A and B are shown apart, each in its own frame.
Chain A
């Protein structure tokens, strides 16, 4: 733990316990999946709370907790520019290119 805090001002519960996003990899899972969020005063307690809330203390799972404030999300407004595969550009299609003779397994 850090040194004794010098803060004496009263904080609200939400300031005491910021929001954390929780990602869990199941025992036989391949990757971490976002499972939800929770409030906790710090990362260590966020991990403990995540274990109680999302894994029921199973052995062999991996948990990541990330402060929600640290996550940058794509904006829904930019969806077209972000995710549209730009199908109108013909040079993006593999069929545009002639395959040279002698190339197999394409």
Chain B
């Protein structure tokens, strides 16, 4: 990555793909109240994505708006982290993904509020409050599932183990970016470790650390996700919606 355009685009893509995955839960959550909560969080992520992608389009100066960036790029041109494109799995996997994503987004957006770029600082100010809520929600469920029944404990530990390798990519150093993600790792570790401890879960050991999302090298899941997300836009290029 280099410069504010790539940085802004990658954050926007993180939020967009996270929103798409969370949207898949609509009408499928364990209870009605959770359905509404997940839809709320998906809408927050989509709102952040629109702000970030719109600004990325302006930074690029090539006339691409939020829709062009969302619907007219293929998987090799997306810059989201691999974590957000992983399938939802069971409820525990979704909550593990949300915990890790929001524990990264919260310090990131908070740091943005102090950066020199006024637009990014304003976006950070708005999105940081939403991220705090997402982190709270995911933490509650990880604690309940981890410290619940034997079955929920087993599934939550499996989910954490399964998703953990994908968190390392989030903190790849990028000194040229408005906020260097490497500086956020300590904050992430503190928050996540506290939740895992309280949930009676074991923090996985660091080993395999897949990466590539920031360079457009994704898992096989992203192209399927984009095919569904983009189908109508690509079938009717240039239409007004």
Contact = CB atoms under 8 A, between A and B. Distances in A.
B88 interface: no
Main SS of the interface on chain B?
helix
Main SS of the interface on chain A?
loop
Interface range on chain A: under 10, 10 to 19, 20 to 34, or 35 or more? 20 to 34
B133 to A, nearest CB: 7
Contact of A48 (B137, B148, B200): B137
A52 interface: yes
A39 B33 contact: yes
A53 B150 CA distance: 31
B63 interface: no
Given A13-B31, A45-B140, A48-B140, A4 B36 contact: no
A57 B30 CA distance: 22
A38 B148 CA distance: 21
Interface residues of B, number: 20
A17 B36 contact: no
A65 to B, nearest CB: 12
A39 B140 contact: no
Nearest to A13: B31
Nearest to A4: B147
Nearest to A40: B33
Given A1-B147, A1-B198, A57-B133, A52 B37 contact: yes
A17 B31 contact: yes
Interface of A: 1-2, 4-5, 7-8, 13, 17, 38-42, 44-45, 48-49, 52-53, 57
